[in-house]
Amino acid sequence: MLDLNLFENHGIKPSITRIKIYEYLLNHDHPTVDEIYQELKPELPTLSKTTVYNVLSLFHEKALVSTLVLNHKEQRYEINHQPHTHFECIRCGNVYDMPYVQIDYRSIAQDGFEYVNHDFVVKGVCATCKQE
């Protein structure tokens, strides 16, 4: 069960919709807006994709969720704030958390760039698809 103090500590007023979306994120890895909408729509009949997007934007703004953009178009959401790498299966499209890959960014600074952060996605075939 979600501790509502989490929302209050991040300056978010709890609502049924916000609670249900956050609980969904707790139980599903890297969902899209559409996946969240399709799953919660039967339970929340007045839910719209715009509402899902707006709630996720609020969560991101308040540092409750992180976003992952794949293929420069598909945005996914996650609660895992620990440093980690992502693995995207090129067959099924599932995204998995993998151990963090440390990269030496000193050469970037030497070239005059300033490092802020990175999203690292490894692409390949997941174990399930490999067995099929």
Q: What is the pLDDT of residue 113?
A: 81
Domain residue ranges of the chain, discontinuous segments joined by +: 5-78, 85-131
Reading the block at residue 85, the tokens are 């790498």
Q: What is the pLDDT of residue 1?
A: 67
pTM tops 0.75, yes or no: yes
Tens digits of pLDDT across the chain (132 residues) = 688 899 999 999 999 999 999 999 999 989 999 999 999 999 999 999 999 999 999 999 999 998 888 777 788 999 977 788 889 899 998 888 888 877 777 777 777 787 776 677 888 999 999 998
What number of H helices and E strands is found in the chain? 6, 5
- CB 55 within 8 Å of CB 33: no
| Residue showing tokens 């069960």 | 1
Tell me yes or no: is domain 5-78 CATH 1.10.10.10.
yes
Identity at 49, one-letter amino acid code: K
Q: What is the pLDDT of residue 127?
A: 93
Task: Kindly tell me the burial class for residue 97, based on how many C-beta atoms sit within 10 Å of its own C-beta (0-12, 13-18, 19 or more).
Answer: middle
Q: What is the pLDDT of residue 44?
A: 97
Phi, psi of 68 (to 5 degrees): -130, 120
DSSP track, 13-81 = ---HHHHHHHHHHHHSSS--HHHHHHHHTTTSTT--HHHHHHHHHHHHHTTS-EEEEETTTEEEEE---
Among the four given CATH numbers 3.20.20.70, 3.40.50.300, 3.30.1490.190, 3.40.50.150, the one describing domain 85-131 = 3.30.1490.190
Phi, psi of 25 (to 5 degrees): -65, -35
